[in-house]
Structure formats: C-alpha cells, structure tokens
Structure 1
Amino acid sequence: MTAETFVRFCRKTVRRFVRDTSGNIAVTFAIALLPILAFVGAGIDYSRANAARSSMQAALDSTALMLSRDLAQGTITSTDIPTKASAYFKALYTSADAKGIGVNVSYTAATTTTASNIQLTASGQIVTQFMKLAGFPTMDFSTKATTTWGDVKMRVALALDNTGSMASSNKMTALQNAVAGSGGLIDQLSALAKAPGDVYISVVPFAKVVNVGESNYAQNWLDWTDWQNPPTVQPANGSYQAAIPNGSFSQAQWDMVGPGSSCPFKSSNGFSYFGCVSGPTTGSASVSTIPKTGDANAGQICPGYDSASHSYYNGCWTTTKTSTVVTYCTGSSCKCSNGANESCTCTGTSGTSGYTCKVNTYTKTWVANAKSTWTGCVADRTQPNDANAVSPSTSDVTTLFPANQHMENNTQYCSSSASTKLAPIVPLSYNWNSLKSAVNAMQPTGGTNQAIGLAWAVQSLIPNGVLGAPAEAASTTYNRVIILLSDGLNTEDRWPEYGNGSSQASGNPIDARQALLCSNLKNTKDAKGNSMYTIYTIQVNTSSPADPTSTVLQNCASSPDKFYMLTSSSQIVTTFNSIGTALSKLRVAK
C-alpha cells in the first residue's frame, strides 16, 4: 500500500469513527485521558520537587548553624564564610533529583545593639518526567535559612564552704587544688576565653555569714538595724531571745543601774546570753560591774558578745543621773537592792510600811559604734528576702543586707586581725592570678549556712548589682553557672533558734529556707524562657559516721546529674575537673 493510499484509508476510518455513536464512552475516556495523565504526572513531579526542597532546607539549616559555631569559636573568619558555606552545603545536600544547585550567603557582624546574623539562600530544579508533556520540562524550587547569635559568654559563681570542718581530711587543701591548682577549674575556664570578659568567675567563701569587705561600710545596700540597736527581743528568735535586764535585776530595777552597779546581764540566767565588757570596742575585757567615776568608760553599760547569736553588740548605754526615787521595803529591814556601790538613804522605822530607801536613778542612751568599725560580715536577709534574689532597695529595709559583727569561738571571723579569717567575697573577675590567690587564702572557720553562700553567689551574677557584676549585652548569650560545695549539714544562720552551730532545730528550718531559695532560683527564667541559672551542688561526706545525704543540696541541683556525693577529699579534684569539662563548650544560640 502506497503512502497516499494509507492516508486516504486513515481519513476514511476516522470519518467512520466520528459518525459511529455506539462507542461514545470510549471517545469520552480517550479525550479525558490526556489531562488525567497530566494531573497524575504533575503530582509525582511536585512530590519529587518537594522532597528535594525539604532536603535542601535541612542541609541549609545545618550549614547556617555550623557557620555560626565556627565564627563564635574563632575557627574561621568572615572572609571564609562563602567557601565554608559551599563546602558544608555540598557535603550535606545529596539529592539525586536536584540539578543546577546554587547557594548564596550574607553575613552581618554584631554591633552594640544587634546580634551577628547569617542568611543563606539556595535554589535548584528538577527535570520533570510528566509535566514536560504539558510544556514544563523543569520545576524550580528555593529555600532560605537564618541564624542569629551573640557572643556566648560564661559567668561562674563558686560558693565554697569555709567552715571549721573543712580543716579535716585534707578537704580545704583538696578544694584549693581543684579550683586554683595547675589544670584546676580556673585554668579550665580561663582557657575558654577568646577575649577578656568572655569568662568571669566569682568566689563566695561562706560559713554562718559571708564577708563582703569592711570597705563597703558606706554602701546603701547594708541594713544597720541590728548594729545600731541595743539588745532587744528580736523577731523569730524563739528561746534564744536577748532580753534586758537580767541576772540579779528585775525589769523594774533597770532604771537603777548606773556607775558601780553589778552587771545586769548574766549569760547563765534566763534569756540573756551575754555579759558586760569594759568598753564599747569589740574585744574589750569582761567586767562584773559598771565602770564608775575614775574608771575608763565610766558609766557605760556595754553588753559585749552574745553567745546565742554568735555576734557582738556594737555599742554601749551611757548613763546620766536623773533624780531620786523612793523604794518601799518590806520585812524587818531595808536593803538598797540596786547593786550599786553607792550609799542609800533610808528613813523611817525598820519593819514598818513607812520605812523607805532613796536611791539614784539613771537615764540611759544607747550609742552605737561607728559603722567604720564594722569588719565586713553580713547575715541572712530578713525573711522572705533571704530566699530570693530581689535587688536591695533603700525604701524597703527588708531587702537590705544586715551588717553583722560575727564572733564565734572567741574569734571575729571577718576581722583582718583574726588568725582564721573568713575570706572576703571576690566579685566577678577574669584576673586569674588574683582569683587563685583568693582561693588559696581561704581558711576553715565557723559553722555551716549553705543558704547564705548560695544567696551571695546569685548576687555576684546580677548585672550592675551590689557586687558590681558587668552589664549584659542584649546581643550576647550568657551561661550563668553556680557551683555550691559544702562538707556538712546546715547548723546555724541569722536566727538562733534555727540552729546552735552544732545541729539544726527540729524540722530543719535552715534547710527549709534554703530549699525555698533553690526553688526560686531554678524557676527564674531569662527573656527566652530558659532557666536563668545552672546549679551544680557538691556534698563532701567524709564524716564518721557519715552524714546522711543532704536532701536540700540534692534537690537544689538543676538536674540529678549535677549533684555530686563525694566520700573522700581526693574526689574533689576529679569532680571539679568533670564540671569544668562539662562547661567547656561555648554553645551557639539559634
């Protein structure tokens, strides 16, 4: 058959097919088949393109994070970004379908108000298998990724037990080696700093109190209430109340105490836990009578050391003779019972109701020592602010820090002349040699109050706070870390009825206050909703018999893996090394 004949045959056959009405369903299906196949094919091609784009997005995100990490750690410079971006992306993106891949990168360096920023865009296409029948031989797709980060900086506060028990089992020496020794925590953390200020460390030695430094006596964040007041019945002091007068005197006879009188305080009698001293300065000798005319400090009534609160009363009452009063006596004779070495004038008939004694009375004015004589100790803040990190305000005295003249075992622990001085707090610093010197100067002294160490560790991290921590830049990510180490259970704090220096009162009230502080700190969030502080706690348990596990320390840690129970002093070094290793990653913030 010739081609012309074949063409005529096809025409004839088509005309017959068109006139034939018996096969109209087949005709309809044939007409619809092409768009159906086109739609199915388009779905397949679209799925291929979407899969290629999803893979591209994942690769681009990872590339952006790795670039920001490299820049933050200083392993690349800004000029390396395009080459490094291409290398990372090509290694991560392995789609077989994608063709014509292109990657563009834009980097904006951080300023004082904005963070560093990397923007990545990528594009590609797939060769279609079905849509090319409809005139679309390729499908294009693109995606982008952005990462913003600041400099990641680290601020670490070390709250370190400096109590007397740290002298046993070589614990203090082990602690000093772990923190300030060669390869210790300070060396580990200082190695992370690419520039001054990348890493800061503060040191907070604690016992019952902390030492913020005597040079701070003019600061407006100090509470001088206890310092300036004479012995009074303090709130929440239970059976350890400081009451006046006491000893051989009744309250009614307080006005008769003057020069030459017997000391109205006796530490072995009633609620009084202090006696009299010869003068207003701390460390004055104990006396049994009030200095009289001709003696030094004549007429001054100085209460001295309070063995219940382990603190020194800073001042004396000055006495002024005011008048003569009549005291009625009962019995067969009248004896002037004011204890003074002064004569009394008695009139009337002995044994009668008219028999009276006339005695001198005295007006008393409390004169506190000058604030400049304070040695630097502060006690727990007034509740409830002992259990939070609220900033002090002069309009609310309960937010201020009580100045305290701590004295225990005949030693004023914050005094520069003390043989075993409680070392002062070192605010955040990157002077590594000074930090090491401060740690190596620590000496075991006093009783245990972990809560005050923790409270001041937090204060040391508060920007522009009482300890002058540097401001925090909005474009910077900060890792704020607290490491709290103690070798014993809490035994005393500001409130004498909570503990006597050897043990706590029933119900563990000191632990209860600390537990509340820990809870408040762990629930404190930053602007991004993340925990503000990471807390590590360490219990050094070398006692025999061993102390129980400290529940308050265990629960204070940010997570179970951040609590360490040590049974020998040698473990202190390895534990701090482990914590230092955990802190040695500067993390990139997405």
Structure 2
Amino acid sequence: MLDTVVFRRLRAAARRFAGANDGNIAILFGIAVIPIISFVGAAVDYTRAVAARSSMQAALDSTALMLAKDLTEGTINTSQISAKADEYFRALYTNNEAKSLAITASYAQNSGNGSTILVNGSGNIETGFMRVVGFPTMDFKTSSTSAWGNVRMRVAMALDVTGSMQNDGKMPAMQTAAKALVDQLSALAKNPGDIYISIVPFAKDVNLGTSFKDETWIDWDVWSDQNPTWGTCSLANKTNKSDCLSNSSRIWTPDKTKWTGCVTDRTQDYDTKNTAPSSTNAPTMVVAEEYVTKNWQGNVVEQYCKSGNNPYMPPIMPLSYDWTTLKTMIGNLQPTGNTNQGIGMAWAWLTLGVGVQPFNAPAKDTANYTYKDAVVLLSDGLNTQNRWYSNASQIDARQKILCANAKAAPHNITIYTVQVDTGGDGESAVLKECASGSDKFYHITDPSQTVSAFNSIGQSLAKLRVYK
C-alpha cells in the first residue's frame, strides 16, 4: 500500500514538473551563455593576436631594411644575417603578450645583380577566454622582404633660380644642399646607370639650350613678334617683320641663331603632361621679352637667359651620372626672374621620360631591374607669373593638375617639395599638395635648414632604393 501511495505521488510530481513552465528563460540562458561567452572571448583573444602580429610586421619591416643596409655597406656578411636579424628584431619588438617568438632570415642573389632578404617571424599569445574551450594559445606569423641592387633610381632636381633667391643666403644654401644630395645619391650607385640625376633650373621660364633651334616643335611666332628685326624677309629691303608681312606673298624667317634657348610653359593642356613634343601639339613658346635688355638705340645689351661664360640660367641638364659636371652646374646657378614652379616641375618630369623629346631619357632594363623615379622641387616663394597668368591661384591650379598627373599610374613619380620661406608666407598649399605625402613636404624658414631637408630627402630616396 505504501509503495502504491509513494508511486502515485511520484507520478503526480512528475506530471506537475512536466507541465510546469516557470523558469524556462533562465534555463535557456544558462544553456546559451557558454557559446556567447566563447564568441566574445574569441573576439577579444583574436584582437590581441592581431595587435601582436601587427607589431611583429612593423618590427620585421625595419629589420629587413636594416639588414639590407648593413649588407650594402659591408658592415655584416651573409653568414651573420640570422644572428643580426634576431638582434634587430628583439630590440624593435615591444609587444609583451607575444610568446614563443621565432625569427628566421634568408639571403638570395637575384638576376640583374640584385639581392633579397626574406625575414620570417612567428609567435603566439596565451588566450584568456578560448582556453575554456580547449585553445590555450593562438598562433600568428608574418614576413617581410627587402630587395636592393636591382632597384635603379632616377631623380630630377627642379631648382628655383628666381630673383628672390639672392636674398638671405638662400642661393648658396640651396647649392650646398643640392651638391650634397648628388654626393649622397651617387654613393648608392654600385654600377654606372644605377643612379641618374637631372638638373632643371627654373624661374618664369626654363632654358632648353640652343641645340634645339631647328626642331619643328618650337613655335617662333611670339619671339619674332617681340624681336621684329631678328630675321630676314623674302624681300631683301624689308628688315622688319611687320613691314615684311604687310604683303601676304612675303615670308619672314626668324634668325634662330639669336635665340638663347629659353621657352615658356607648353601649350595647355600639354603643360600638365609629359607628352612628347611634336610639331602637332605646339609644345613650347620661346622666352618672353622681359629677358632681353636693350639700349636706347634698340640694340640688345643683355639676354638674361643665356649659356655663355656667365650664365643666368644654364640649360637643363638631362639625366646623367657625371657627378662632377652636375655639381659644377649647380655651382654656376645665379638668381633672376619671377616664380613659376609649374614649369620647373613640368620639365623635371620630362627629363625622366624614356624616349620623350627633347631629352630622351635612357631606356630601362625592366627585365632585370626595378626603377624608381622622383622629382625634388625647391622654391623660395609663391607663384607669381607664367605664360598665361599673373595670379597665383590660377598658376597653382595648373600646377596641382600637373603634380597629380605625375604621381598617378602609370608614371608613379615620387615628388618631394621644399619651401624656403624667409618672408613669412606660411605653408604653400600647392607645394604641400604636390608632394607625395606630408612627410615629403618640407616647410623651412631659415636657409640653413636647406641642407638638413635635402639630407632627409636623400635618406628617403635611399629607402626607396632598398624597398620592401
């Protein structure tokens, strides 16, 4: 009987339990809380692992670059790479959570006399939450590569030689800095052609040199209008251009031997491109009248853009690795004229153009080498005059388009700009925008800082040559 009663009561209790719905949410939450905590914990642990890996990547990048520099300079040999890699990495890696760190480094000699260092790194973190579900550690790994020797560099220096450069010691400071940069870059060259440098002096105009006087892409109309007696008429007794052309059957031929080699900005929109000059795209105009000084009789007594024994603005020097000649040219620069940064930048870019007239940069051996092209543009003032405008904002607008085109693919020109601001102009917006990043724009207020700025540029260029 007792068993029957007990059984009956147990059965009733079981029925009540089966029909009860109080506390379901708590029970379900208790069941679900474990995977929720696991997911949250996994995200926390994963974030820690990503941070540790990111720190490792930065340390490996620096390690690879320093190893390449050491090998290039001969301070270590290939047998010391692994030990030196571990030493550099341990000094650079600051993430305290990473454990079981392992670093390996390997060296390879490539075709084209190039070399490569590959640095691999791995490690793990001890998990906090994932440990609960059976993962006490979380692994990570990454690598970095530095290559050098098979990287060749071409650098165009566009140097401001305007009249204001004669003030405050700016011209000699620039000359010292530019010569030092030639020395700095030439030291990176192990073989002829590893490094090329061109020099583009600029004011309102640039000087191409008189050897191009017979090219069909030179437009002589403005020059001959400004110098109407420099030429010959098909009618011998007419010695003035306007008198000669008063009859449509007559032909005026300018005396090109009097040209000093100077040209103004290229015809728009060629002023913002590095399209090769041709007779169909009106690429250049001969220098304006302001560069010619005449006496009361109308005879020329001085031409400001000339390439004689005392040049005001010597002709552009195309890409060269004749370091002595490059430095000699820099030392001969003298200040004159107004500021037109755009023309300096435009012709600096043109000197880098392979097969592009008028300078026809040497062909690139892309099968065996990687090439880095750069422009260093220095100016001491804001834009004041170009072929079309005397308004800085209009000149700046053309220059911004030009710089954007040069930096864009497929050209990928790296641009460094230096503003020597001794007049309190403040940062030049156009020079800052032209630069390939804020770290490549230098706003200096004392000419003595020019050497330091150019040295920094040289170090940056060296890193481009030893690249990841």
TM range (shorter): 0.5 to 0.7
Supply the distance in 1 between the matched residues of 2:427 and 2:88 (Cα, whole angstroms): 49
* 1:394 aligned to which of 265, 278, 296: 278
Shift of residue 517 of structure 1?
A: 1.7
Alignment partner of 1:204: what SS? Answer: strand
* 2:267 aligned to which of 382, 397, 403: 382
Shift of residue 149 of structure 1?
A: 4.2
Instruction: Provide the residue aligned with 1:478 in structure 2.
Output: 372
Supply the distance in 1 between the matched residues of 2:44 and 2:163 (Cα, whole angstroms): 72
Supply the distance in 2 between the matched residues of 1:384 and 1:97 (Cα, whole angstroms): 56
Establish whether residue 158 from structure 1 lines up as the match of residue 132 from structure 2: no
Q: Structure 1 residues 111 and 66, CA, compared in 2 at 3 Å: closer, same or farther? A: farther
* 1:584 aligned to which of 445, 459, 462: 459
Establish whether residue 299 from structure 1 lines up as the match of residue 236 from structure 2: yes
Verify the 8 A CA contact 1:318 1:367 in the aligned structure 2.
Answer: no
Shift of residue 111 of structure 1?
A: 3.8
Establish whether residue 144 from structure 1 lines up as the match of residue 141 from structure 2: yes
Please tell me the residue identity of whatever aligns with 1:205: P
Instruction: Provide the residue aligned with 2:3 in structure 1.
Output: none
* 1:521 aligned to which of 375, 381, 403: 403
Alignment partner of 1:64: what SS? Answer: helix
* 1:206 aligned to which of 177, 202, 208: 202
Verify the 8 A CA contact 1:110 1:116 in the aligned structure 2.
Answer: yes
Paired residues for 1:232-311 under 5 Å: 276=229, 280=232, 299-303=236-240
Shift of residue 381 of structure 1?
A: 0.7
Instruction: Please list the CA deviations of residues 294-322 of structure 1 after superposition, one character each: whole Å capped at 9, or x if unmatched.
Output: xxx97242337xxxxxxxx9xx9499xxx
Instruction: Provide the residue aligned with 1:118 in structure 2.
Output: 118
Paired residues for 1:359-378 under 5 Å: 363-369=249-255, 374-378=259-263
Verify the 8 A CA contact 1:223 1:402 in the aligned structure 2.
Answer: no
Shift of residue 192 of structure 1?
A: 5.6
Establish whether residue 435 from structure 1 lines up as the match of residue 326 from structure 2: yes
Shift of residue 434 of structure 1?
A: 1.4
Instruction: Please list the CA deviations of residues 192-241 of structure 1 after superposition, one character each: whole Å capped at 9, or x if unmatched.
Output: 6566656543321123321112234466xx623325x996xxxxxxxxxx
Instruction: Please list the CA deviations of residues 229-285 of structure 1 after superposition, one character each: whole Å capped at 9, or x if unmatched.
Output: 996xxxxxxxxxx5xxxxxxxxxxxxxxxxxxxxxxxxxxxxxx66646x64xxxxx
Supply the distance in 1 between the matched residues of 2:277 and 2:109 (Cα, whole angstroms): 39
Alignment partner of 1:74: what SS? Answer: helix
Verify the 8 A CA contact 1:488 1:540 in the aligned structure 2.
Answer: no
Supply the distance in 2 between the matched residues of 1:128 and 1:555 (Cα, whole angstroms): 47
Instruction: Provide the residue aligned with 2:218 in structure 1.
Output: 224
Instruction: Please list the CA deviations of residues 425-463 of structure 1 after superposition, one character each: whole Å capped at 9, or x if unmatched.
Output: 122334332122101112334454333223212223344
Shift of residue 81 of structure 1?
A: 3.1
Q: Structure 1 residues 564 and 56, CA, compared in 2 at 3 Å: closer, same or farther? A: closer
Establish whether residue 425 from structure 1 lines up as the match of residue 424 from structure 2: no
Instruction: Please list the CA deviations of residues 323-382 of structure 1 after superposition, one character each: whole Å capped at 9, or x if unmatched.
Output: xxxxxxxxxxxxxxxxxxxxxxxxxxxxxxxxxxxxxx994233344x677542222111
Please tell me the residue identity of whatever aligns with 1:159: A
Alignment partner of 1:301: what SS? Answer: coil
Paired residues for 1:75-94 under 5 Å: 75=71, 76-88=76-88, 92=93
Supply the distance in 2 between the matched residues of 1:43 and 1:362 (Cα, whole angstroms): 90
Verify the 8 A CA contact 1:124 1:140 in the aligned structure 2.
Answer: yes
Shift of residue 528 of structure 1?
A: 9.8
Supply the distance in 1 between the matched residues of 2:394 and 2:129 (Cα, whole angstroms): 72
Verify the 8 A CA contact 1:539 1:553 in the aligned structure 2.
Answer: no
Instruction: Provide the residue aligned with 1:572 in structure 2.
Output: 447
Instruction: Provide the residue aligned with 1:333 in structure 2.
Output: none
Verify the 8 A CA contact 1:189 1:199 in the aligned structure 2.
Answer: yes
Supply the distance in 1 between the matched residues of 2:159 and 2:198 (Cα, whole angstroms): 11
Please tell me the residue identity of whatever aligns with 2:217: D
Instruction: Please list the CA deviations of residues 522-550 of structure 1 after superposition, one character each: whole Å capped at 9, or x if unmatched.
Output: 46545599874232233454xxxx9x669
Verify the 8 A CA contact 1:189 1:580 in the aligned structure 2.
Answer: no
* 2:352 aligned to which of 457, 461, 470: 461
* 1:536 aligned to which of 418, 434, 439: 418
Q: Structure 1 residues 114 and 196, CA, compared in 2 at 3 Å: closer, same or farther? A: closer
Q: Structure 1 residues 223 and 302, CA, compared in 2 at 3 Å: closer, same or farther? A: farther
Supply the distance in 1 between the matched residues of 2:170 and 2:351 (Cα, whole angstroms): 25
Higher Cα Rg, which structure: 1
* TM-score (norm. length: structure 1): 0.55
Supply the distance in 1 between the matched residues of 2:129 and 2:37 (Cα, whole angstroms): 7
Please tell me the residue identity of whatever aligns with 1:401: T
Q: Structure 1 residues 209 and 418, CA, compared in 2 at 3 Å: closer, same or farther? A: farther
Paired residues for 1:174-189 under 5 Å: 174-180=173-179, 184-189=180-185
Instruction: Please list the CA deviations of residues 15-53 of structure 1 after superposition, one character each: whole Å capped at 9, or x if unmatched.
Output: xxxxx9999x9xxxxxxxxxx9x9999999989996996
Verify the 8 A CA contact 1:193 1:199 in the aligned structure 2.
Answer: yes
Verify the 8 A CA contact 1:377 1:414 in the aligned structure 2.
Answer: yes
Alignment partner of 1:584: what SS? Answer: helix
Supply the distance in 1 between the matched residues of 2:377 and 2:98 (Cα, whole angstroms): 53
State the Cα RMSD in Å.
5.3
The alignment-based identity, stated in percent, is 27
Supply the distance in 1 between the matched residues of 2:182 and 2:97 (Cα, whole angstroms): 51
Supply the distance in 2 between the matched residues of 1:191 and 1:482 (Cα, whole angstroms): 18
* TM-score (norm. length: structure 2): 0.66
Supply the distance in 2 between the matched residues of 1:167 and 1:45 (Cα, whole angstroms): 67
Verify the 8 A CA contact 2:378 2:417 in the aligned structure 1.
Answer: yes
Aligned pairs, number: 421
